[in-house]
């Protein structure tokens, strides 16, 4: 049946292309991830058309015999030093059109592109015990990282307990926060703190490292703003001016009820003082005050990241699904 499938590389993404892509994503997520809200059409269009930081994208649309979209593949090719060996894949097929060879055709195009771009590592995420996981296992991907996804329901929050944590004194530290781009006076300190993410658990993923500086943190915030999303940050600053840690929340464009946890990190020299819990409790308090339409926060942690899982459980996060990160070691052309 795959002879009736046509693959189209997408270069200049049209509104019709974005609509077709969204239809495949929404159908796939409804089948494989019930209860997980799919991105809206505007989010999909922004993701496909707005430049990403230190990377570029390739995209393919699979069309069936009747001309309707049945599958999509997006490939993010990282370009910064330390990650220019890496590509990240999104591959989805409409559940009604599976087992016709669409996924295999898309993956073949992706692997060929990885070879042409000299990428040795291709990573993809799939829900645990899903068709995507089975697809990866049958095609020489190896499981490299297990993730636990958690939800915090803000309408079921023990607000008194969270407020107590958020208002606890931490001698030598103060909280600050901002929306969007970091203030100039904190940019260098924030970049230094960002580098603490390089020791987060990544299992066996060949994920490389990121070297953050003030220009890069500003550029990342601009990428998010250009997509129409909102980035909130709360940070802990030491009396000596160093940024000891931070936590970030992303609010998708529109009036999304579910916020996404981005980074949370504490610089190694400042660990052991309860700053991670303090920061996250302060962010919850901020969300409740500034964005009452947000009713839940989703986060994910490596299953062996016992410290951050303990922090999240203490705040009231509860596990609700699991995913797996798979890696394909791409052979040289």
Tell me the average confidence (pLDDT) per consecutive run of 10 residues in the chain, 333 residues long. Answer: 82 94 96 90 92 93 94 96 95 95 96 96 96 95 97 93 94 98 97 89 85 95 95 98 97 88 95 96 96 96 94 95 96 74
pLDDT of residue 254: 80
Domain 2-119 CATH class label: alpha beta
Which residues does 166 contact at the CB level (< 8 Å), separation at least 6?
278, 281, 282, 284, 285
Domain 150-322 CATH class label: alpha beta
Beta-bridge partner residues of 260: 250, 298
Judging by beta carbons within 10 Å of its beta carbon (0-12, 13-18, 19+), is residue 261 exposed, middle or buried? buried
Handedness of CA 67, 69, 70, 73 (dihedral sign): positive
pLDDT of residue 333: 66
- Residue in this structure with the two tokens 């089975």, named with its chain if needed: 134
Where are the domain boundaries for CATH 3.40.630.30 in the chain?
Answer: 2-119, 150-322
pLDDT of residue 2: 60
Handedness of CA 276, 277, 282, 286 (dihedral sign): positive
- Residue in this structure with the two tokens 């936590």, named with its chain if needed: 247
């Amino acid at each position: 049946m795959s002879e009736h499938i046509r693959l189209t590389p997408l270069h200049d993404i049209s509104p019709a292309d974005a609509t077709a892509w969204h239809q495949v994503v929404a159908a796939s997520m409804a089948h494989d991830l019930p209860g997980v809200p799919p991105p809206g059409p505007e989010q999909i269009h922004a993701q496909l058309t707005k430049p990403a930081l230190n990377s570029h994208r390739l995209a393919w649309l699979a069309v069936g015999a009747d001309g309707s979209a049945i599958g999509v593949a997006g490939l993010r090719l990282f370009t910064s030093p330390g990650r220019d060996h890496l590509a990240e894949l999104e591959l989805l097929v409409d559940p009604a059109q599976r087992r016709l060879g669409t996924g295999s055709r898309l993956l073949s195009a992706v692997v060929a592109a990885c070879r042409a771009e000299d990428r040795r590592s291709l990573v993809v995420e799939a829900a645990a015990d899903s068709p995507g996981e089975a697809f990866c296992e049958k095609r020489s991907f190896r499981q490299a990282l297990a993730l636990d996804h958690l939800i915090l329901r803000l309408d079921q929050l023990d607000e008194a307990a969270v407020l107590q944590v958020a208002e606890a004194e931490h001698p030598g530290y103060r909280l600050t926060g901002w929306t969007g781009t970091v203030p100039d006076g904190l940019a260098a300190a924030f970049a230094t703190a960002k580098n603490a993410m390089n020791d987060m658990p990544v299992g066996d993923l060949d994920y490389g490292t990121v070297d953050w500086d003030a220009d890069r943190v500003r550029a990342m915030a601009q990428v998010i703003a250009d997509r129409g999303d909102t980035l909130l940050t709360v940070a802990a600053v030491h009396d000596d001016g160093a940024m000891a840690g931070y936590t970030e929340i992303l609010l998708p464009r529109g009036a999304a009820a579910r916020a996404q946890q981005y980074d949370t990190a504490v610089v190694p020299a400042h660990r052991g003082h309860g700053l991670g819990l303090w920061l996250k409790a302060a962010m919850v308090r901020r969300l409740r005050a500034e964005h009452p339409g947000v009713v839940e926060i989703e986060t994910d942690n490596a299953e062996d990241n016992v410290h951050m899982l303990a922090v999240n459980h203490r705040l009231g996060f509860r596990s609700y699904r699991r995913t797996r990160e798979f890696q394909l070691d791409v052979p040289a052309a």
